[in-house]
């Protein structure tokens, strides 16, 4: 017997987070829209955070409270492993898979430092995309495709690529708006 799907469990897909590396920069961008079903609740939410004293940038797709819990856990792991992002993410993913409380969290994260960009998921995945570009949420595939098309343009820096890619995603995805927040690190 199949359980009826809870419509609220798919809400974490309704956002767009984009992370990319170009030249001497790494950026994470996120749209500002928060939706509940077909209703826009907020248009200027900030889904990005700086962690580890500003050395790590992160963005989330998912339930806000769950994302804050994960940000706090990741911050703790970064302190424990002295800023080693990859190690901290692997340890967080282990906890996420085995801890009864964490297993129920509905969120995904894109995190980056000067050396690596990673996707963290509740299924225990810690993935490093080979091209350094990450797209999460319902608008993620659109932003990802646009960023891949724009990344080799010599006239665009990382921030310009991210902003244009997010604008394209906002034109396609109804759960993505054009109120873009951006965090940047110099490599």
Q: Which residue has the tokens 């996707």?
A: 119
- Is 64 annotated as catalytic? no
| Residue 183 burial (10 A CB sphere; 0-12, 13-18, 19+) | buried
Q: How far is CA 56 from CA 117, 153, 166, 169, 179, in A?
A: 10, 26, 21, 25, 22
Contacts (Cβ under 8 Å, ≥6 apart) of 82: none
* Residues recognised as catalytic: 15
């Amino acid at each position: 017997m199949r359980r009826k799907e809870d419509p609220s469990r798919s809400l974490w897909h309704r956002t767009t987070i984009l992370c990319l590396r170009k030249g001497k920069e790494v950026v994470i961008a996120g749209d500002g829209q928060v939706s509940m079903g077909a209703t826009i609740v907020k248009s200027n939410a900030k889904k990005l955070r700086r962690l580890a004293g500003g050395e790590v940038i992160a963005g989330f797709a998912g339930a806000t409270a769950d994302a804050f819990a994960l940000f706090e856990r990741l911050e703790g792991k970064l302190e424990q492993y002295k800023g080693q992002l990859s190690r901290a993410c692997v340890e967080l993913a282990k906890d996420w898979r085995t801890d009864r409380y964490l297993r129920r969290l509905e969120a995904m994260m894109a995190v980056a430092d000067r050396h690596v960009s990673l996707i963290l998921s509740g299924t225990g995945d810690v993935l490093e995309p080979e091209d350094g570009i990450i797209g999460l949420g319902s608008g993620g595939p659109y932003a990802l495709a646009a960023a891949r098309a724009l990344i080799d343009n010599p006239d665009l820096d990382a921030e310009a690529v991210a902003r244009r890619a997010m604008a394209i995603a906002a034109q396609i995805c109804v759960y993505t708006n054009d109120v873009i927040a951006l965090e940047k690190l110099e490599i």
